[in-house]
Every structure is written in structure tokens, then in C-alpha cells.
């Protein structure tokens, strides 16, 4: 069980979010929806412990262990993985080398992982020279290769064409077989392919409405401002 308890987050020394709480188990899909700039990415980065995204209150628990203050690599070794909204454009690093390095630790077959997100034809390409959509699929491959217990996925459906969205959804379905899946999205296009179990709307500094799929329908009908 992965639990975020009454979390407050500051970014660049400025208070951004407060009182964020949720729990999620492996096999569950949790969507965090909200408008641009509300703090969705910052929440995932703070959970992961990325420098500059500070947890100033509350706790992050993995199977009862308080992991709030652990460093990102320590959280990764316990099974947390983050797919960035805009993946780092690593110069001079080839896709196959990165994936095989991760798979060496987790004992996966990097060519099989690459096939899931259809980047097996990109294994010899430099990550920094991929297109935006290719880069996002490679980013998902790195998360798959980590075999996480908790996958934090930032905007998997932004900048992705309709066919690639099907591939992205396939990867997410693969991930959720073993992991708790937390997906941040402002458009929720991915919901056509991967319905959520739980949904929360982040608005005005915290979660304003949480529930099941009906919250997603309400967002489409009323928008964020109309809902809260």
C-alpha cells in the first residue's frame, strides 16, 4: 500500500500545495487531474524527492515505512519510479544502453521492454535526439524496466498522437499488473484506453474532489472550475 498523508509541498521556497492525502494499492489506477500550473508535476516530484520540490509537511509511506525524507535513488531502490512530463534530453546516451543498464539491475530483457512501447527500432539512437513523442515512449520504457511497485506517470498523454496513445496505454496496463499507478493528466485522453479506479481533482492548492470514474465524467461536463 502506498500512502500520501496530509502532504504540503513548497516549490522554490513558495508554498504550493497543502493537505494532499491518498492511498493506492498495486493493481489500481489513480488519476490526478487539474488545470495547467496547479502543481500536479510538482506533487509527483516532491513525492519522488526531486531537489527543489520540498515536502514541508505530511508523510509518504510505502507499506507502512515512512520514506518521505529518502533521496530519489533510495526511493527508486524501494520501488518508486517517475516518468517525467518532459523527459531529460540525455545527450550522447543511446536508448539501448540506458535500457540495458536498468535491466541489468532488475533482470529484465531490455529488447522485450523496448518492444512493449515500440521503441525497439530506436535502440541505437541518442536519447537527446529523439522526437518529443519518441522520447515519451522511451521514458515509459525506462519506468517499465525499473519494474516499480509505485509508478508516478506525469502527463503520459500530452504531445502523443492517437496511435501512440494506444501504445502508451499498453505500457501503462503492463505496469499496473505489478504496480500502483499514479497518473497526472490535464486532458485525461488516456482515460479512453485506461479507465481509472480513483480520481482526484487538484485545484487551488489541494485536492478538491475525489471519487471514482464519475469524477472524470463531471470534469468533462463542468470543467475544473465548475466542479469545485
Ligand X SMILES: Nc1ncnc2c1ncn2[C@@H]1O[C@H](COP(=O)(O)OP(=O)(O)OP(=O)(O)O)[C@@H](O)[C@H]1O
Strand 206-211, strand 198-203: pairing: antiparallel
Take residue 114 and report the three cell numbers written for it.
523496448
Cell of 139: 521514458
Strand pairing partners for 203?
Answer: 206
User: Bridge-partner residues for 81, per DSSP?
Assistant: 151
Could you tell me the three cell numbers for 158? 500530452
Shortest reach from residue 74's CB to ligand X, in Å: 21
Stretch that binds ligand X, among 29-37, 67-75, 111-119, 142-150 (CB under 6 A): 29-37
Strand 29-33 and strand 180-185: the pairing is parallel
Q: Which of 180, 225, 223, 186 is nearest to 198 (CA)?
A: 180
Per CB under 6 A, 42 contacts ligand X: yes
Q: Report the residue from 2, 29, 41, 142 that binds ligand X according to the rule CB under 6 A.
A: 41
Q: Least distance (Å) from ligand X to the CB of residue 15?
A: 11
How many amino acids of this chain bind ligand X (CB under 6 A)? Answer: 14
Name the residue nearer to ligand X (CB basis): 173 or 209. 209
- Which region among 34-42, 92-100, 175-183, 219-227 touches ligand X (by CB under 6 A)? 34-42
- Point out which span in 10-18, 74-82, 92-100, 166-174 binds ligand X (CB under 6 A): 10-18
Least separation, in Å, of the C-beta of 87 and ligand X? Answer: 14
The mark string for 186-205 relative to ligand X (x by CB under 6 A, - otherwise) is x-------------------
Residue 184 in contact with residue 32, Cβ under 8 Å? yes
Alpha helices in the chain (DSSP H): 40-48, 72-77, 95-106, 110-116, 132-145, 162-175, 213-227
Q: What is the contact mask toward ligand X in residues 149 to 188, using x (rule: CB under 6 A)? A: -------------------------------------x--
Q: Assess 147 for contact with ligand X (CB under 6 A).
A: no
Residues in the chain: 228
DSSP SS3 for 224? helix
Q: Are strands 80-83 and 2-11 parallel, antiparallel or unpaired?
A: unpaired
Nearest distance in Å: CB 38, ligand X = 4
Which range in 35-43, 117-125, 170-178, 203-211 contacts ligand X by CB under 6 A? 35-43
- Min dist CB 110 to ligand X, Å, is 29
Question: Phi and psi of 42, rounded to 5°?
Answer: -60, -35
Query: Contact residues for ligand X (CB under 6 A)?
Result: 11-12, 16, 34, 36-42, 52, 85, 186
Amino acid at each position: 500500500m502506498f500512502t500520501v498523508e496530509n502532504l504540503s509541498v513548497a516549490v522554490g521556497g513558495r508554498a504550493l500545495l497543502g493537505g494532499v492525502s491518498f492511498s493506492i494499492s498495486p493493481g489500481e489506477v489513480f488519476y490526478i487531474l487539474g488545470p495547467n500550473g496547479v502543481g500536479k508535476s510538482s506533487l509527483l516530484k516532491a513525492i519522488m524527492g526531486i531537489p527543489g520540490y520540498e515536502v514541508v509537511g505530511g508523510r509518504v509511506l510505502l507499506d507502512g515505512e515512512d520514506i518521505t525524507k529518502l533521496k530519489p535513488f533510495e526511493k527508486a531502490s524501494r520501488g518508486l519510479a517517475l516518468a517525467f512530463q518532459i523527459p531529460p534530453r540525455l545527450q550522447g546516451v543511446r536508448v539501448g544502453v540506458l535500457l540495458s543498464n536498468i535491466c541489468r539491475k532488475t533482470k529484465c530483457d531490455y529488447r522485450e521492454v523496448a518492444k512493449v512501447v515500440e521503441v525497439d527500432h530506436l535502440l541505437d539512437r541518442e536519447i537527446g535526439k529523439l522526437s518529443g513523442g519518441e522520447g515519451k515512449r522511451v521514458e515509459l520504457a525506462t519506468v517499465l524496466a525499473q519494474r516499480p511497485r509505485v509508478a508516478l506517470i506525469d502527463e503520459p498523454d500530452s504531445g502523443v498522437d492517437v496511435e501512440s496513445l494506444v501504445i502508451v496505454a499498453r505500457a501503462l496496463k503492463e505496469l499496473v499488473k505489478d504496480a500502483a499507478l499514479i497518473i497526472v493528466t490535464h486532458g485525461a485522453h488516456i482515460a479512453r484506453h485506461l479507465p481509472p479506479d480513483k480520481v482526484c481533482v487538484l485545484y487551488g492548492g489541494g485536492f478538491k474532489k475525489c471519487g471514482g470514474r464519475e469524477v472524470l465524467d463531471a470534469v468533462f461536463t463542468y470543467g475544473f472550475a465548475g466542479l469545485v
